[in-house]
């Protein structure tokens, strides 16, 4: 069976149930946490015991505002700006948005938000970070 190339553009994020207008890059970071455990039975050799994971997703894009018809399917940088100020916990989906593809689902908060706008007749940029709620993540396949 042939291998499948997963292209960069296929890896995306849904905030709630919506895609994000102008999204250019996504990043996914998992940092597993361990405790060193040394029991009598380990005979002097400490072992790592898995505790949990710190999971964060980075998003960045262009200042492209959604039009009215996209409000049911897309967030944009202005709605995410508001979300970052609200501090609400929201469901997310990370991965490929196609049937049968691997995805990470869970809950998280927008824990960082930045916008950059110069003075040229060009779109500005924005970036943000979503910190996942510990224990809320599911690694699965899109039905």
Partner 1 sequence: MIGEAIQATVVAIIPNTYAIVGDEEIVAPYCVHIETELEPTRVKEGILNYNYSVEVLIIDSLPDSVISSAALVRAAIEALAGTTVNSTTFEQVIYEGDDPGFDQESRLYASNIRFTIETKTR
Q: Which residues contact partner 1 (rule: CB under 8 A)? A: 9, 12, 19-24, 26, 61-62, 64, 120-123
Smaller CB separation from partner 1, 63 or 136: 63
The distance of closest approach from Cβ of residue 100 to partner 1 in the complex, given in angstroms and rounded to an integer, is 19
Smaller CB separation from partner 1, 62 or 81: 62
CB 89 within 8 A of CB 107: yes
The distance of closest approach from Cβ of residue 22 to partner 1 in the complex, given in angstroms and rounded to an integer, is 6
The distance of closest approach from Cβ of residue 9 to partner 1 in the complex, given in angstroms and rounded to an integer, is 5
Q: Where are the beta strands (DSSP E) in 38-123?
A: 47-62, 74-75, 90-96, 102-116
Smaller CB separation from partner 1, 105 or 136: 105
* 56-86 as b/e: b if 16+ CB within 10 A: bbebbbebbebeeeeeeebbbbebbeebbee
């Amino acid at each position: 069976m042939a291998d499948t190339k997963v292209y960069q553009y296929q890896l995306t994020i849904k905030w709630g149930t919506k895609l994000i207008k102008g999204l250019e890059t996504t990043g996914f970071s998992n940092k597993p946490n361990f405790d060193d455990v040394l029991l009598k039975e380990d005979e002097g050799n400490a072992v790592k015991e898995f505790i949990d994971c710190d999971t964060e997703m980075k998003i960045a894009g262009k200042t492209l505002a959604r039009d009215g018809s996209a409000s049911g399917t897309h967030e944009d940088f202005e709605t995410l700006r508001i979300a970052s100020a609200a501090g609400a916990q929201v469901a997310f989906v990370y991965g490929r948005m196609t049937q049968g593809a691997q995805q990470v689902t869970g809950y998280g908060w927008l824990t960082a938000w930045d916008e950059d706008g110069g003075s040229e007749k060009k779109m500005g940029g924005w970036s943000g970070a979503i910190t996942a709620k510990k224990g809320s993540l599911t690694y699965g396949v899109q039905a």
